[in-house]
Amino acid sequence: AQKITQTQPGMFVQEKEAVTLDCTYDTSDQSYGLFWYKQPSSGEMIFLIYQGSYDEQNATEGRYSLNFQKARKSANLVISASQLGDSAMYFCAPCLDGNNRLAFGKGNQVVVIP
């Protein structure tokens, strides 16, 4: 199994502030994409953002942006202007092994406080 590291313990962030979630991974692949998913307490997994291997600019999707640094094998998610509904687990999922299947990290817990 691929090694994906999300080491930050539960993070508390003030409403309207930004939060950065770290993700690093091991791979020898040169071509791969990377996803971030959100899982609120209700349990459903929600797709947030994707960046392809050859995308030159970092992906953005509303308040979500990806800081993708392939050379460092890192892909951090930035959530700007946090809202109470952002309280959830966030999973990094690089698409490794060359077969388009996703491997998930263990997740980062985010709690937004008013």
Partner 1 sequence: DVKVTQSSRYLVKRTGEKVFLECVQDMDHENMFWYRQDPGLGLRLIYFSYDVKMKEKGDIPEGYSVSREKKERFSLILESASTNQTSMYLCASSFWSGTGANVLTFGAGSRLTVL
- Beta-sheet pairing, 4-5 with 46-51: unpaired
Out of 33, 82, 88, 94, the only residue in the binding site for partner 1 (CB under 8 A) is 33
Q: Under rule CB under 8 A, which residues in 54-83 are in contact with partner 1?
A: none
Q: Is 44 in the site for partner 1 (CB under 8 A)?
A: yes
CB-wise, 14 or 53, nearer to partner 1? 53
Out of 47, 62, 111, 113, the only residue in the binding site for partner 1 (CB under 8 A) is 47
Binding site for partner 1 (CB under 8 A): 1, 4, 33, 35, 37, 43-45, 47, 50, 52-53, 91, 95, 100-107
